[in-house]
Structure 1
Amino acid sequence: MENSNSKKWLKPGSRQCLIRRGLVKSMGYTDADLEKPIVGIINTWGETNPGHANFRELADAVKRGVWAAGGF
């Protein structure tokens, strides 16, 4: 994982990295969490679309799976 996009996104030495790391750490995450691969999970759940009602729970299950597999 040395050249992963996650490593590039949080690579020390730039102002953008400092801001990103500060925001993530202010949410309670640790340096160890920041070493994990970052996986973005996007869903279309919303209160105005009843057809997507199950997506909220599905995204939560995916998030738990990412964490269980060692991702962030």
Structure 2
Amino acid sequence: MNYGQAIEAMKRGDVVRRTMGGYVHLAHRGTPLQYFEIVEAGGSRKPYLPSIEDQLAENWSGVCVAPPCAEAA
């Protein structure tokens, strides 16, 4: 998926990531305080500011991180 599709997925509540790296989601979705947040492998969280490379990339994908999702797979 491309970056635009990744944004639409995050607006629906999904979690996305690029081929490598942590996963990105929309924190505080539906409130005036919403922002992109990246959760890295060690569990650290920080605001995510996508680079031009991220925005032009075609290697975004959806990620299943919740236990109910893992059970459904």
Give the TM-score taking structure 1 as reference length. Answer: 0.27
- Larger Rg computed on CA atoms: 1
TM-score, length-scaled by structure 2? 0.27
Between 1 and 2, higher relative CO (CA 8 Å, sep ≥ 6) is seen in 2
Which has more strand, going by share of residues?
A: 2
